[in-house]
């Protein structure tokens, strides 16, 4: 029994609805008319597909969970997250990749109770992958259980970061971290879809992901998926309270998470 609702959405229901949304996005991928691409700001794109995928998700999720609230990226007004059951939605994470025909984009949906994601799905339709998790039940890629890597030596670690151009201070701090840390790692990638980058940490493909300037919808689903895969998620300075609103994220296995924080405490 979920808080305020008769029934909590199941992982299977969420996978089914998010997969349908992913197929809708995929139908327009590499076939996008220029006039359907708009600017939210100089660096922040939105397309008519983002908006139609979000509308589909809200319709289907309302049918599945009447009474649930929505915190969705492309809403005109963003609600404050409360203890009430809430879906946190990024209809397309990696919109810039989507617009440029790069397949690393996804649909990300988390269902939160008492402000914490408890069921989550990230669907990457152009890559044919479905990541999911439920609190206490583990994380999955398709039907396969996934776990974070066991790499404990930074020199053997492949990391991923994001450098979002929309916030100059986040960009500057992110570049400084990158300059100091890159030579201590095997290598660093910048893939462009935070939700999916977190899933790659959960699957042990990346050992660390960090980014400044992220929003709750970029990280809510991926955060639960990493935690259920045995990883640790915080803000880049180790913030553990209200991580969804810390405006930064650090995800890794416990050893590399501690290592990264020991560097940030030295001013990285
Ligand atoms: C963005 C992507 C990108 C990250 C930005 C996000 P959007 O989300 O996750 O990788 O660098 O911080 O805003 O705009 O594509 O949904
Ligand atoms: Ca988005």
Q: pLDDT digits over 201-246, tens only?
A: 999 999 999 999 999 999 999 999 999 999 999 999 999 999 999 9
Say whether pLDDT at 200 is over 90. yes
Q: Which ligand lies nearest to the CA atom of residue 164 in the structure? A: 1
Q: Which helix (DSSP H) or strand (DSSP E) does residue 11 occupy?
A: helix 11-28
- Whole-model pTM: value is 0.96
Q: What is the mean pLDDT of residues 252-268?
A: 87
Domain 154-264 in CATH 1.10.287.130 = no
Joined tokens for residue 256: 């590399």
With a cut of 60, say whether residue 4 has pLDDT above it: no
Would you state the pLDDT for residue 31?
Answer: 87
Q: Are 243 and 224 in contact (CB under 8 A)?
A: no
Locate the DSSP E strands across 114-225.
116-124, 129-134, 138-141, 144-146, 158-163, 187-189, 208-212
For residue 193, give the ligand nearest its CA.
1
* pLDDT given at position 3: 54
Domain ranges, ordered by start, for the chain = 11-145, 154-264
Q: Which ligand is nearest to the CA of 73?
A: 2
Q: Is residue 218 in contact with ligand 1, taking CB distance under 6 Å?
A: yes
Q: How does the average pLDDT of the chain come out, rounded? A: 93
> Is ligand 1 within 6 A of the CB of residue 228?
no
**CATH number listed for the domain at residues 11-145:** 3.30.540.10
What average pLDDT does range 187-214 have in this prediction? 97
Q: Give the atom of ligand 1 at the shortest distance from the alpha carbon of 92.
A: 16
What are 42-78's pLDDT values in tens digits?
778 899 999 999 999 999 999 999 999 999 999 999 9
Higher model confidence: residue 79 or residue 126? Answer: 126
If one residue of 194, 213, 219, 235 were mutated to test the ligand 1 pocket, choosing by the most ligand atoms within 8 A of its CB, it would be 194
**Which ligand 1 atom is at minimum distance from the Cα of 214?**
12
Tell me which residue of 227, 218, 62 sits closest to 133, measured CA to CA.
227
Length of the chain: 268
* DSSP bridge pairs for 131: 122, 141
- According to DSSP, residue 4 is labeled T
Which among 263, 217, 255, 215 has a CA at the least distance from the CA of 236?
263
**Token digits of residue 48:** 């008519």
3-state secondary structure of 39: strand
């Amino acid at each position: 029994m979920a808080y305020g609702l008769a029934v909590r959405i199941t992982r299977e229901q969420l996978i089914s609805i998010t997969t349908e949304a992913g197929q809708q996005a995929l139908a327009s991928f590499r076939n996008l008319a220029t006039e359907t691409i708009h600017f939210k700001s100089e660096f922040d794109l939105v397309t008519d597909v983002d908006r139609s995928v979000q509308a589909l998700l809200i319709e289907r999720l309302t049918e599945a969970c009447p009474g649930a609230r929505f915190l969705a990226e492309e809403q005109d007004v963003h609600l404050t997250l409360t203890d009430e059951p809430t879906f946190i939605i990024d209809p397309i994470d990696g919109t810039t990749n989507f617009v440029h025909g790069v397949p690393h984009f996804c649909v990300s949906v988390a269902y939160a109770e008492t402000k914490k994601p408890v069921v989550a799905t990230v669907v990457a339709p152009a890559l044919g992958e479905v990541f999911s998790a439920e609190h206490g039940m583990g994380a999955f890629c398709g039907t396969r259980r996934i776990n974070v890597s066991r790499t404990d030596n930074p020199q053997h670690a492949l990391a991923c970061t994001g450098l979002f151009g929309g916030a100059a201070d986040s960009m500057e701090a992110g570049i400084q971290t990158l300059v100091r840390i890159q030579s201590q790692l095997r290598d660093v990638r910048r893939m462009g879809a935070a939700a999916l980058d977190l899933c790659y940490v959960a699957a042990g493909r990346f050992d660390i992901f960090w980014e400044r300037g992220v929003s709750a919808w970029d990280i809510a689903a991926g955060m639960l998926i990493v935690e259920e895969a045995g990883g640790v998620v915080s803000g880049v300075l180790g913030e553990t309270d209200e991580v969804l609103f810390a405006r930064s994220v650090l995800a890794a296995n416990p050893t590399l998470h501690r290592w990264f924080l020991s560097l940030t405490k030295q001013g990285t």
